[in-house]
Amino acid sequence: EMQLVESGGGLVQSGGSLRLSCAASGFTFNSYWMHWVRQVPGKGLVWVSRINKDGSTTNYADSVKGRVTISRDNAKNTMYLQMNSLRAEDTAVYYCTRDEVIGSGSLGHWGQGTLVTVSS
Amino acid sequence: QSALTQPASVSGSPGQSITISCTGTSSDIGTYNYVSWYQQHPGKVPKLMIYEVYNRPSGVSNRFSGSKSGNTASLTISGLQAEDEADYYCSSYTHSSTNTVVFGGGTKLTVL
């Protein structure tokens, strides 16, 4: 069964750092583009970042560019999101998602999410 | 403010059909056929319902259909059922700025 399991969320002070992880199983991880999407509880979905199959191409939302780095380790079937200089507005549930169509944003599988809370 | 514009809410009675619109620009919906729709029930993870404008993933009911005209995409749900009550989000690939995917603000569907 295909699974995406996020970890690494938690409470951090403004200006601090966190590294989120997404462990993938049940599919050929290195065959898919992957994305991070976040959602403030009770609010809408916001795209954060994407990475291609071998990690050579990355893209970021304007709101996190320069503060966040997406990466992947295909040998470990794991994707990461390094988040630095965190702000209160980064508080959200962060979802790891699999793109079904070559990085286009057709997000067919989602993890359960990990909550990041940034205190000011 | 979301890049794609959706109505905040729509409603319909069981058995009826409803349509949710999603308006973008020539930088996203107007140029690319990479429009997706997601259903999210309270406390649950979003579920892909439509991708590439009108394609349904395996297991999604054929009561759900997608279309696009110009800069506006639409999700139609026919034969409304109580279980369809949820939040619905559209998204599109985009070449504006550095973002590559944009979401709509979401639409709350109420089944009366």
Residue bearing the bigger pLDDT, B30 or A120: B30
Report the alpha-carbon distance of residue B9 to residue B106 in Å, rounded. Answer: 8
Which of B40, B92, B98 has the CB atom closest to A60's CB atom? B98
Over residues B86-101, the mean pLDDT reads 89
> Is the Cβ–Cβ distance between B100 and B1 less than 8 Å?
no
Q: Report yes or no: B92 at the A interface, CB cutoff 8 Å.
A: yes
pLDDT(B98) > 70: no
Exposed e or buried b per residue across B8-43, where buried means at least 16 C-beta atoms within 10 angstroms of its C-beta? eebebeeeeebebbbbbbebbbbebebbbbbbbeee
Interface contact A47-B92, CB threshold 8 A:
no
Interface contact A106-B52, CB threshold 8 A:
yes
Report the alpha-carbon distance of residue B95 to residue A17 in Å, rounded. Answer: 29
> Is the Cβ–Cβ distance between A116 and A95 less than 8 Å?
no
Interface contact A104-B46, CB threshold 8 A:
no
Q: Residue B95 — very low, low, confident or very high, per pLDDT cuts 50/70/90?
A: confident
Q: Which distant-in-sequence residues (6+ apart) come within 8 Å of A56 by Cβ? A: none
Query: Nearest chain A Cα to B92, which residue?
Result: A105
pLDDT tens for chain A, residues 1 to 120: 999 999 999 999 999 999 999 999 999 999 999 999 999 999 999 999 999 999 999 999 999 999 999 999 999 999 999 999 999 999 999 999 999 988 788 999 999 999 999 998
pLDDT(B1) > 60: no
Q: Report yes or no: A27 at the B interface, CB cutoff 8 Å.
A: no
pLDDT at B3: 84
Q: CA of B77, closest CA in chain A: separation in Å?
A: 19
Report the alpha-carbon distance of residue A65 to residue A36 in Å, rounded. Answer: 13
